[in-house]
Structure 1
């Protein structure tokens, strides 16, 4: 098992030993003036990435939908580069909820024996590509090359290693094999590609677009082409299972805020692109060019549906890549609050693909 997943397990075990739960914030249920018991938490600690594939979170925080829906619950946020580190924080008690790719969520779920977290909503589909030097035309051309991913064991890392294996190429966890995979920070990947030190990368947006438009990379694989109908989960909303049990009203409010944020993104794409770009500059220190933000948005779409049917395939890919042990996924979803909020908005329920408890 990869080192990042071992860290996740250790963090989960330490939090459980110290507090008897997974470390999420909690408070005794309070009663309002009518005597109704409230399960609202005093604080919600939320993790997400400064990526276009996390536009739901970026907008929900910056445009105010999350804070409005959460009411008196204080929203605290933390930015991450990739999923394994974010899941370490969630299992170690530093986060209550997180926007994260399915592979990282699955790894944490599996290593905690299904106890640590629940996927409660979708967020993004699409928006991931393998971009390479122009002289590379086929999978066979990658032999002897160096490719990057955001972090070992994250969703794009799993996708790359699985795809390489399907094309008869080895990519060992220690960086050896037919193709050397070098997980690193996305900004470092762009610099390394420009300097000629790596030959490509499997990246989420906006980094794939930046590689193409700033550094002259070309798309070898658009991940949408590998999935039926082009539909697969890139980002989901997960919550600490203990936090969900103690504060279901807070989780429901967060989901209500997400639905409102996604509705605004869909209704006013131009304004959403501008807001996200402004936030990327604030969070990462650099805004995208108008062409980059337009391309990045065009490669992905926001969704409240976690596209549960794609999760088993994601798990199978991780197993095939040697990054995950075969795992029973039943219990990984809890879409109760999501479907209640969708119904309140006049929208149909979404499927858990039989993977709820």
Structure 2
């Protein structure tokens, strides 16, 4: 398993690949409810179930996005806290996955909800040692939205488009799609199309001001550009995948944390299963709760129309859609953002499938990628 010193070295390498200043810069751009002095490995406490050990604290990262409805609900609805019992849950909010994965590689997070591209980057940079994908969370909920006058890919030549962060899932999706259309979008921002990674809130303001021509965004930001700024959908990412299903958000855990505290990971997954069941069975209540939390986390609630549209673009799921991960890697390799690597060992769905069985739900596939 990766040690703290080697994890820190991996974090530096990861930051260099995705254009970050490093773990400290990543954390300064996030919102945290973590108490001071928790960067050290959490102490273990005796577990009340399973006969193993539970962590005294679990440090969890996620985004204030509708595509992260699972953790937003899990925290606010109390599903995570109920399942974790005496384990303290500390949370930290991020804008995009690369910064979040830098924090996980640097030992500042134990688990994180993140898109597959950023998870792949961390896996590659740590030589397959730093993390495991232990569950899915969301499928769908990402679109390329543009100015009304843009009607085709050809119209994008000479234009500027935004993504949440260089190397994140939507950034890879945009760059690969442009490549398929015969358009260049170089990592330094040059090419037929200039890709300008930036904070999602900044993207909304920049689009309204006419400084950018569109963006490939997760929900609710795609909906906000459509409803608040007059953008139109040029590409719905669901249309690019078989059966319209692709992984938008997954749950990853530090390999070291999983080894030391499997009971805590089991509890977190139990909380997720409960949260997703509630989201599915009570969609109106879930939308209201997520909107209330978005206001708390970002200072602004969505309109009723925006939250409804955003929720309608995605589906909560515990399935990480493992069979799509190789395709995600292929896209990142094709755009020069990642090098090819063997993905065997990136999944550990054993706890998820055991807990799904307890809830009377079918097992999900790891696509043969659990073992090295």
Distance in 2, matches of 1:183 and 1:38, equals 43
The residue aligned with 1:14 is: none
Check whether the contact 1:158–1:318 (CA below 8 A) recurs between aligned residues.
yes
Q: Which of residues 106, 111, 127 in structure 2 aligns to 1:113?
A: 127
Q: Which of residues 73, 79, 92 in structure 2 aligns to 1:65?
A: 79
Deviations 1:58-106 (A, max 9, x none): 0000000000000000000000000000000111111000000000000
Check whether the contact 1:8–1:108 (CA below 8 A) recurs between aligned residues.
no
Distance in 2, matches of 1:40 and 1:2, equals 29
Distance in 1, matches of 2:275 and 2:21, equals 33
1:8-23 correspondence to structure 2 within 5 Å = none
Check whether the contact 1:128–1:205 (CA below 8 A) recurs between aligned residues.
yes
The residue aligned with 1:5 is: 17
Shift of 1:187: 0.2
Q: Which runs of 4+ in 1 moved over 6 A?
A: 7-10
Aligned CA RMSD, in angstroms, stands at: 1.9
Q: Answer yes or no: is 1:27 the counterpart of 2:43.
A: yes
Distance in 1, matches of 2:97 and 2:307, equals 22
Distance in 1, matches of 2:15 and 2:109, equals 21
Distance in 1, matches of 2:354 and 2:19, equals 35
295-304 or 36-45: bigger deviation: 36-45
Deviations 1:237-258 (A, max 9, x none): 0000000000000000000000
Q: Answer yes or no: is 1:327 the counterpart of 2:341.
A: yes
Q: Answer yes or no: is 1:44 the counterpart of 2:50.
A: no
Shift of 1:39: 1.6
Q: Answer yes or no: is 1:224 the counterpart of 2:226.
A: no
Task: Indicate the SS of the match to 2:55.
Answer: coil
The residue aligned with 1:244 is: 258
Shift of 1:167: 0.6
Deviations 1:10-32 (A, max 9, x none): 76xxxxxxxxxxx7724356376
The 1:289/1:98 distance shift into structure 2, 3 A limit, reads same
Distance in 2, matches of 1:38 and 1:105, equals 27
Task: Indicate the SS of the match to 2:129.
Answer: coil
Distance in 1, matches of 2:22 and 2:126, equals 10
State the TM-score, normalized to the length of structure 1. Answer: 0.93
Check whether the contact 1:5–1:108 (CA below 8 A) recurs between aligned residues.
no
Deviations 1:140-164 (A, max 9, x none): 1100000000000000000000000
Number of residue pairs aligned between Structure 1 and Structure 2: 345
Check whether the contact 2:116–2:325 (CA below 8 A) recurs between aligned residues.
yes
The 1:126/1:353 distance shift into structure 2, 3 A limit, reads same
The 1:7/1:30 distance shift into structure 2, 3 A limit, reads farther
5+ residue gaps, structure 1, are 12-22
1:221-300 correspondence to structure 2 within 5 Å = 221-300=235-314
Deviations 1:214-241 (A, max 9, x none): 0000000000000000000000000000
Distance in 2, matches of 1:116 and 1:134, equals 43
State the TM-score, normalized to the length of structure 2. Answer: 0.90
